Amino acid sequence: MAVRAVRGAVQLERDEAGHMDEQVGALLTAVLERNSLGVDDLISIWFTATPDLHSDFPAAAARKLGIVDVPLICAQELDIEGAMPRVVRILAHIESDRPRAEISHVYLGAAAALRKDIAQ
């Protein structure tokens, strides 16, 4: 079994904890489903949020999905002028037999514009 990395992002419509839970939960669910993963396949997840998001930790959404024994960490994204606002990004480390080229990176909604080269 190989260690792989899966990327993803979602842009929030507003900075509210419930909305963040919903959107980050949808992102994590899509990553798991599109890569045929279960919680036991997760090694760790890094979350970043743009500096305009203050309502909650993105990792809280993962805990609410039942991802309770996987190391999670949150960090602030760089504050770059002109960058897309209200974005949560993830970098999940997983165990998978899939070749690197078959990993599905997930960019939901407007966040698909961030990585048109790998967004599925």
What span, in angstroms and rounded, lies between the C-alpha atoms of 77 and 11?
13
Q: Binding residue per annotation — 107? A: yes
Q: Binding residue per annotation — 115? A: no
The CA-atom distances, in angstroms, between 74 and each of 1, 7, 11, 117, 120 are 27, 15, 16, 25, 24
Which letter does DSSP use for residue 98 in this model?
A: S
Q: Binding residue per annotation — 7? A: yes
Positive or negative, the CA dihedral 67, 40, 6, 111 is negative
Annotated binding site: 7, 89, 107
Annotated binding site for prephenate: 7, 89, 107
